[in-house]
Structure 1
Amino acid sequence: MTFYIFLIACCAAATTGIIFKPGAWYASLQKPRFTPPNWLFPVAWTTIYLLLAWAGYRLTQLPGSETVLALWAAQIALNTLWTPVFFGANRMLAAMVILAVLWVVVAVMVVMALQLDVITGLILFPYLVWLCVAAALNFSILRQNR
């Protein structure tokens, strides 16, 4: 049952991607050469959200995981916020700030999870890698589209 609570939180975050689609505004922006193809975004995010739910569930089974679970809650809130700010409000700088804070929260979460349970930390690691790509992409788009 606990896994499904985390999965519902992830689905709620994913819903922002359905509500605030990239659309014509995003298509018109100059993007770096390393921009992933459009089909990769839903594949990557679906995988990440499933891993996040699994990691959240695993964390509930570990004694001393309260701080990491608080970071999990903070990251899902920041994750949910980024899409409407970037795609909905077209605020690239504000989105970059959100993404930078999100990256720090997730990096700390990964390190702390690794200390509690290596498998859970490794489950979270792809998310941190994807956030590196997302941050580089957000920053490059911001610089190229002043």
Structure 2
Amino acid sequence: MSAFIIALLVLAAASTGAMFKPGEWYRGLERPSWTPPNWAFPVVWTILYIAIGVSGWLVWEARGPGLAMALWLVQLGLNAAWSWLFFGRHRMDLAFVDICLLLLAILAYIIAASAISPLAALLFAPYAAWVALAAMLNRSVWRLNSA
């Protein structure tokens, strides 16, 4: 898998955030006081998607196909599904399940990648932290808006 293919896969996952935007529905939801400001999301996600791509490329270059790359692909698919579930389908419950699975896939990737490229694993640490925060936010918004 070339750097070009990895970049295309990351762009495809990132594009779900552009296809399924928060919009009026999200603006009408009750959110916790600790919700990050709206401007933070595109800034943070841009940095994270670059790190995701570089990490995947480092693992691919060092080892090629294997468990770590399979986990990298799984996390990318779960990542892409979240925006569709939360913003597209308005299914905060399914989005929460998805983001919990995403966090598990990220942590599993970090473990698998650490034996191949410590830098690749390290590049996923901020991603894991952000997704953990996003999972808490997802759960809080869901609870605040459950009837």
Superposition TM-score tier, normalisation by shorter sequence: over 0.9
The 8 Å contact of residues 114 and 121 in structure 1, kept in 2 or not, is answered as yes
Percentage of pairs with the same residue? 38
The 8 Å contact of residues 7 and 49 in structure 1, kept in 2 or not, is answered as no
Alignment of 1:28-107 (within 5 A): 28-63=28-63, 66-107=66-107
SS of 2:137's equivalent in the other structure is: helix
* 1:13-46 deviation digits (Å, cap 9, x = unpaired): 1111111110011011111111111011011111
**Aligned-pair CA distance for 1:116:** 2.2
Alignment of 1:2-17 (within 5 A): 2-17=2-17
SS of 1:62's equivalent in the other structure is: helix
Which range is displaced more, 49-58 or 59-68?
A: 59-68
* 1:34-69 deviation digits (Å, cap 9, x = unpaired): 111101101111111111110111001223761000
The 8 Å contact of residues 65 and 116 in structure 1, kept in 2 or not, is answered as no
The 8 Å contact of residues 30 and 141 in structure 1, kept in 2 or not, is answered as yes
Distance, in Å, in 2 between the alignment partners of 1:132 and 1:59 is 23
2:137 counterpart residue number: 137
Distance, in Å, in 2 between the alignment partners of 1:90 and 1:131 is 19
1:24 counterpart residue number: 24
* 1:81-132 deviation digits (Å, cap 9, x = unpaired): 1101100110000000011111101111112212222111101111101101
TM-score normalised by the chain length of structure 1: 0.95
1:117 aligns with 2:120: no
Q: Which runs of 4+ in 1 moved over 4 A?
A: none
- Aligned amino acid, residue 100 of structure 2: A
Gaps of 5+ in 2: none
Distance, in Å, in 2 between the alignment partners of 1:64 and 1:91 is 36
Distance, in Å, in 2 between the alignment partners of 1:91 and 1:144 is 14
- Aligned amino acid, residue 129 of structure 2: V
Give the number of equivalent residue pairs. Answer: 146
Which range is displaced more, 33-42 or 114-123?
A: 114-123
Distance, in Å, in 1 between the alignment partners of 2:15 and 2:63 is 31
Distance, in Å, in 2 between the alignment partners of 1:3 and 1:64 is 12
Gaps of 5+ in 1: none
SS of 2:115's equivalent in the other structure is: helix
